[in-house]
Amino acid sequence: MKFEATKLSKVIEQNYSHLMPDFFEMQTEYLASLNIIYKDLDASLVAMVLTSELYKNIIKESTSRETYSLKNFYQKENFKLPANSFRIKDISSILNLPRETVRRKKEKILKDKLIILDKKNKLYSLNTSMIEQKIIELQIDNLSKFLSKFSIFFSQNRYFVKEVSKDKIKKDVEEKFLLYLTNFLDFQISYFSKMKTLLDIESIFILLLCSLNTTSQIKNTNEPMNAKDLFANIHILNRTQGLNATSIADITKVPRTTVLRKIAHLEKIGVLRKDKYKRYATDSLSHTNHSKKLLTLFDHNVKLLGIFFSQCIETYSVK
């Protein structure tokens, strides 16, 4: 069954205050898991691109649906990808990362053996033995929880999507893992590359975390609002505590000194504000010189989210 991504995006935008906390939760949990695996968020972005291309190639060449399952992700016979499909200039363009940064991050993930290069045959493969299964299980649980919450909201409000439980989606993700994985990675690559036109990856993590804290509390005390109204009134609606730098550092695993530096920039461009206790919360975007660019950025990401959600629901619907 086909689901129109534009309609889904419109519903998300109209109910931004109620739906986005679930999205921010998924994103912060995902970034936290990447920190565990790669210990370098920019390096994880580079690895995302390779992993996506690697498994798209497998799907393209597969003759059996069993190939898509989670158990095949950890099979001993690693899937391969030609080395010429991993050009630095292409990755740089996709991720909005400088070429030198991509080169260094590529060297790091090769040195750490997260990605293996067969120099003789000029083939890359993902070293899945370096990725703990419990981390993958946490990521699957995180995605399943997010998709289930979205489906419940759409169903309860009669928005052409049936309610699906977390357990049912989780089972489907495990059975069609590579299909969900490639859609998920492509979404994340597009999302973070667009965000990186304004912010670095650590700042994005901090902003997502503060946005989760702020919008979760607004969601529990207000009727659904669209993105424009929420951003215009967020400083009035939010009467709860923000997060201090120490808490942000503990959750993101970004050094506190770095967190303070990133926060200073986020304050300067007007997306975070500090209270008298040095706690940080999302600020009204109407009060910043970057408001037009930020609103365009968020609008683009809502459209991306509509596409991603429609792809996942369609994947689930295909039995």
Q: What is the pLDDT of residues 262-301, one digit of tens each?
A: 999 998 888 888 888 899 988 776 666 666 777 788 889 9
Q: What is the pLDDT of residues 155-167, one digit of tens each?
A: 888 776 788 999 9
Q: Is the pTM of this model over 0.85?
A: yes
CB-count burial class (<10 Å; 0-12, 13-18, 19+) for 92: middle
CA atoms of 44 and 34, how far apart (whole Å) = 6
What are the structure tokens assigned to 103, written together? 């080169």
The one-letter amino acid code at 250 reads D
Q: What is the pLDDT of residues 80-121, one digit of tens each?
A: 778 777 789 999 999 999 999 999 999 999 999 988 888 888
Q: Which of 51-55, 61-65, 138-142, 266-270 has the lowest mean pLDDT?
A: 61-65
What's residue 21's pLDDT? 93
Task: Residue 213: name the closest of 198, 234, 195, 229 by CA.
Answer: 234
DSSP 3-state of 284: coil
What's residue 77's pLDDT? 56
Q: Does pLDDT of 78 surpass 80?
A: no
Helices marked H in the chain: 5-14, 16-38, 41-61, 70-73, 88-95, 99-111, 133-156, 166-175, 177-195, 201-219, 227-237, 245-252, 256-268, 291-317
Q: How much is the average pLDDT of 50-60?
A: 86
DSSP 3-state of 238: coil
CB-count burial class (<10 Å; 0-12, 13-18, 19+) for 50: buried
